[in-house]
Amino acid sequence: MAAAFAVALAVEALDELVGGTNGAALPLMRAGLRLSYTEIGLLVAVPLLIGGLLELPFGLIAGQGQRRNRLVLLGGAVFAGSLVLVALSPGFLALLVGFVVFFPASGAFVSFTQAALMDSDPDRRQQRMAGWNLAGAAGAVAGPLLVVGTLAAGGTWRYAYLLLAGLAVVTVGLAVAGGPARPSLGEPSRDDNEARRVTVREAIRAVREGGAVRWLVLLEVSDLLLDVLTGYAGLYLVGVAHASPQLAAVGVAVRLAATLAGDALFVPLAHRITARAALVSTAAAAAVLYPAFLLLPWLGAKLAALAALSIVTACWYPVAKAGLYGSLPGNSGIAVFWTSVTGLAGSAGPLLVGVVAQQAGLGWALALLAVTPLAVLALASRQQRLIGCSDDRNITSQS
């Protein structure tokens, strides 16, 4: 079981390592392939949309057992192949195809590894999600360092992606040898016949009856102060706080490092605190820290507030994701399906921020996100019926 957990963490770290590398390598790709800003925008938006749509049915058809295991390994192989395609791309179209292919491959490889991990030990979902999130945060921080190291060694961004492809092959090999998607570690009694495909009607009924809707909403709402804020942090520091691009880069680094620290701090706390208590306490702190980040006039004070905010909100994703799986026991494929659905809807969040920023300024656009901690508080207060709050040791028990 420990080996399967380690493999799962390696899969998530690799996925976020690719994400961190993408962000750092994009300017190099633009210069090397002479991409326009329109083409850069397409590289960001099209894979999210098409990849998300392609990923939607995975949760319904994968089931559990052998079928899910095969889908994980197939996704891992395509994951590695897409990185090779990106590395060897002669121009925009090949690069776009590589990015589009990567997203559903990542969905199969990473999402179902996570689902199998949640199924393998239902009583420790939140603790395992805390470790999963920490591995991902470490991978995200390491991505830009990989690009810097490759360039320092005399390579190009293409070499970085070839290295990632090699790491992906190794990780797929580890998954074959002992990953959590192996049937013997998840649902050993389920074979291909028992792990039948789930219909959309069944998925709708399960999410209604299990109380998963609030967890899904919580995942998307909380992301406004997680990934969305991270995406706009550098632009805000330059355009609103009037920092230099170099200092803005330092600010983004502070954000990522503080998030990693928050993930590390939550790992030993995950089995000692109820999900509701974690959400309520951190949302209350975020309700003070986020306005402080926006309103404090000194850059150093802003970065200190941003660091503190990053630390206290780091638990939101693992708590909400563990809660979602806990509300759908035995239906992890349905959890993956609905995460994909709401993820597509949640992609409107960054777009809305961009539209408001274009019309009223980025400062006002980010000010709208101040309602996020209040929304998390409201959703967390409604979760008491779904969480066994009487027993702080069992943070994923169900109603």
Which domains, from first to last, does the chain contain? 2-197 (1.20.1250.20), 206-381 (1.20.1250.20)
Residue 80 pLDDT class (50, 70, 90 cuts): very high
Lowest mean per-residue pLDDT among 18-22, 80-84, 161-165, 327-331: 327-331
- Give CA–CA dist 328/319, Å, rounded: 15
- Count of Cβ atoms closer than 10 Å to residue 129 Cβ: 26
Between 64 and 391, the more confident residue is 64
Query: Between 227-239 and 348-360, two packed helices, what is the crossing angle to 10 degrees?
Result: 20
SS3 assignment, position 365: helix
pLDDT at 259: 93
- Tell me, what amino acid is at 278? A
Residues 6+ apart with CB under 8 A from 385: 211, 399
pLDDT 10s digits, 342-351: 887 777 777 7
> How far is the CA of 173 from the CAs of 71, 80, 169, 342, in angstroms?
14, 11, 6, 31
Which backbone phi and psi does 315 adopt, to 5 degrees?
-85, -10
- Tell me, what amino acid is at 40? I
Residue 164 pLDDT class (50, 70, 90 cuts): very high
How much is the mean pLDDT over the chain? 84
Instruction: Flag whether pLDDT at 193 surpasses 50.
Output: no
Residue 337 pLDDT class (50, 70, 90 cuts): confident
- Give CA–CA dist 63/69, Å, rounded: 9
- Give CA–CA dist 179/166, Å, rounded: 18
pLDDT at 210: 66
Which backbone phi and psi does 190 adopt, to 5 degrees?
-95, 125
pLDDT at 189: 43
Say if residues 70 and 111 touch (Cβ distance below 8 Å).
no
Q: What is the DSSP string of 54-80?
A: HHTTHHHH--STHHHHHHHHHHHHHHH
Lowest mean per-residue pLDDT among 10-19, 20-29, 60-69, 134-143: 60-69
What tokens were used for 212? 């998963």
CA 13 to chain centroid, in Å, comes to 11
Please compute the mean of the pLDDT values over residues 324-342 and round it to a whole number.
Answer: 84
pLDDT at 187: 43
pLDDT at 9: 93
Percent of the chain with pLDDT over 70: 88
pTM metric for this prediction = 0.78
Percent of the chain with pLDDT over 90: 44
- Tell me, what amino acid is at 268? P
- Give CA–CA dist 372/286, Å, rounded: 9
pLDDT 10s digits, 267-285: 999 888 999 999 999 999 9
Please compute the mean of the pLDDT values over residues 246-268 and round it to a whole number.
Answer: 89
pLDDT at 348: 76
Q: Which of 92, 133, 119, 47 is nearest to 320 (CA)?
A: 133
Q: Which of 124, 114, 210, 131 is nearest to 396 (CA)?
A: 124
Q: Which residue has the tokens 């019926």?
A: 385
The number of C-alpha atoms within 13 Å of 381 and in the hemisphere containing its C-beta is 8
Q: Which of 113, 110, 105 is nearest to 4 (CA)?
A: 113
Between 349 and 309, the more confident residue is 309
Instruction: Flag whether pLDDT at 382 surpasses 80.
Output: no
Q: Which of 207, 156, 165, 154 is nearest to 76 (CA)?
A: 165
Instruction: Flag whether pLDDT at 392 surpasses 80.
Output: no
Instruction: Flag whether pLDDT at 397 surpasses 60.
Output: no
Instruction: Flag whether pLDDT at 311 surpasses 70.
Output: yes
SS3 assignment, position 354: helix
Highest mean pLDDT among 57-61, 160-164, 230-234: 160-164
- Give CA–CA dist 233/365, Å, rounded: 12
Highest mean pLDDT among 85-89, 114-118, 136-140: 85-89
Residue 161 pLDDT class (50, 70, 90 cuts): very high
Instruction: Flag whether pLDDT at 226 surpasses 70.
Output: yes
Q: Which of 147, 137, 148, 146 is nearest to 256 (CA)?
A: 137
Burial of 19 (0-12, 13-18, 19+ CB in 10 A): middle
pLDDT at 65: 62
- Give CA–CA dist 394/124, Å, rounded: 8
Say if residues 206 and 334 touch (Cβ distance below 8 Å).
yes
pLDDT at 398: 36
Residue 188 pLDDT class (50, 70, 90 cuts): very low
Specify the DSSP class assigned to residue 182: S
